[in-house]
Chains A and B, each alone.
Chain A
Amino acid sequence: MKTLSAQEIFEKLKGKFGDGVVSLQTESVNPPFAVVPPGSIQEVCRFLKEDPDLLFDYLVCISGVDHKDKFAVAYHVYSTEHRHRIGVKAMLPHDNPVIPTVDVVWKAAIYLERETYDLMGIVFEGSCDPNRILLPDDWEGHPLRKDYIYPEQYHGIKI
């Protein structure tokens, strides 16, 4: 077991991907986030999981963040082997938030991505189950977006 700090993990990522990893965000976030472009999220996640010094085998959660002009998807990962953790973040445009799925890396991503799609409307491309998970299948809109407008009624029942 060799626990690495977030800075060391980020430097390993930087050494592997070069400019493919944008920056490390350390201000007022715990764990610090490595910001990556959306296109390379699968390669970064696979490297995080399979590199023997990192071995991030536990995907803790996937979150969607609405910044009004853009979306962010945040992945919290943890290594039960090395006991270290880091976040990975990808910024998406607001009008068409699409990102490749990571369920080919961690199976746990299926439910988390379904929830993020359900409540935030972020589309995970190539997901093996791209459906809603909490709300009914015929629900309109994604309720945790800032610009969500409440419907008047659902199936004749007042909301």
Chain B
Amino acid sequence: MSQGPAKRKPIKSNIFDVVPAPAEIPQNVLQKNFERVRACKGGEGIIEVGIADLFINWCRKNSLWYLYYATACCGIELMQGGASKYDFDRFGAVFRATPRQADMLMTAGTITHKMAERVQRIYAQMPEPKYVIAIGACTITGGPFYKDSYSVVKGVDLILPKVDVYVPGCPPRPEAWIEGIRNLQNLIMKTKNYGLKKA
């Protein structure tokens, strides 16, 4: 005697139970980001910036378009990370083919001295604000080419003005890349575009 198709339990999503959608921005966040700025000239006028920083940073961190730039084997992990399994798109990181549309440079692979000038030029072509993630052992210290290599730059921070996040590994797994992107997002949320600057 057949029992017929088994009754399926309805799948209940608990996403909304765990993370309630915020009805409004919490008070402490508001206070932290609400600042009064003296106008530059004269020092008399007062501008209330409000939560502009919060909003701008939120926009920036969620649209980190990265340059599709790969010089060595880390580029294979970059492709994997950008593909559907790991999917950087979830964090707003979409690849761009030109530095003029990119916010973030992930240096995936060994930088040689011949390539160094090109990296500097690429970095100069990117519009502000721009961020750099040094991916893999080669771009952090030179990696396996640290000793007795005449052609490898021993770290991309020697040729670029700043590196925001370092992701070690040879090459790092896509999970590590995602952590690097998340760390960069946290950094972006802490930056102050307006407000009283700490002198």
The answer, yes or no, to whether A31 is at the interface (CB within 8 Å) is no
Whole-angstrom CA separation of A148 from B151 in the bound complex? 13
Q: Which residues of A contact B113 (CB under 8 A)?
A: 136, 154-155, 157, 159
**A residues adjacent to B (C-beta < 8 A):** 134-136, 143, 148, 150-151, 154-155, 157-159
Whole-angstrom CA separation of A158 from B151 in the bound complex? 11
Q: Which 10 A-B pairs give the minimum distances between C-beta atoms?
A: A136-B114, A154-B113, A143-B150, A150-B150, A157-B158, A157-B116, A159-B150, A157-B153, A157-B159, A157-B113
Q: Which residues of B contact A150 (CB under 8 A)?
A: 150
Whole-angstrom CA separation of A157 from B113 in the bound complex? 8
Count B-side interface residues using an 8 Å CB cutoff.
10
Whole-angstrom CA separation of A47 from B159 in the bound complex? 51
B150 engages A158 (CB within 8 Å): no
Whole-angstrom CA separation of A159 from B153 in the bound complex? 7
A-B CB pair tally, cutoff 8 Å:
25
CB-defined A-B contacts under 8 Å, sample of 24: A134-B114, A134-B151, A135-B114, A135-B151, A136-B113, A143-B150, A143-B151, A148-B150, A150-B150, A151-B150, A154-B113, A155-B113, A155-B116, A155-B117, A157-B113, A157-B116, A157-B153, A157-B158, A157-B159, A158-B154, A158-B158, A159-B113, A159-B150, A159-B154
Q: Which residues of A contact B116 (CB under 8 A)?
A: 155, 157
B64 nearest CB across to chain A (Å) = 28
Q: Mark B147-172, 1 if CB is under 8 A from A, else 0.
A: 00011011000110000000000000
Interface centre among A148, A151, A154, A158 (most CB of B within 10 A): A154
Whole-angstrom CA separation of A150 from B150 in the bound complex? 7
Q: Which residues of A contact B150 (CB under 8 A)?
A: 143, 148, 150-151, 159
Q: Which residues of B contact A154 (CB under 8 A)?
A: 113
Residues 74-124 of B at the A interface (beta carbon under 8 Å):
113-114, 116-117
Closest to A136 in B: B114
Interface centre among B114, B117, B159 (most CB of A within 10 A): B114
Whole-angstrom CA separation of A143 from B114 in the bound complex? 14
**Given A157-B113, A159-B150, A159-B154, 15 additional A-B pairs, CB 8 A:** A134-B151, A135-B114, A135-B151, A136-B114, A143-B150, A143-B151, A148-B150, A150-B150, A154-B113, A155-B113, A155-B116, A155-B117, A157-B116, A157-B153, A157-B158
Whole-angstrom CA separation of A20 from B114 in the bound complex? 42
B68 nearest CB across to chain A (Å) = 24
Q: Which residues of B contact A134 (CB under 8 A)?
A: 114, 151
B155 nearest CB across to chain A (Å) = 10
B139 nearest CB across to chain A (Å) = 14
Interface centre among A134, A136, A143, A151 (most CB of B within 10 A): A136
Whole-angstrom CA separation of A134 from B116 in the bound complex? 14
Whole-angstrom CA separation of A158 from B117 in the bound complex? 14
Closest to A159 in B: B150
Q: Mark B15-56, 1 if CB is under 8 A from A, else 0.
A: 000000000000000000000000000000000000000000
B136 nearest CB across to chain A (Å) = 19
Q: Which residues of B contact A155 (CB under 8 A)?
A: 113, 116-117
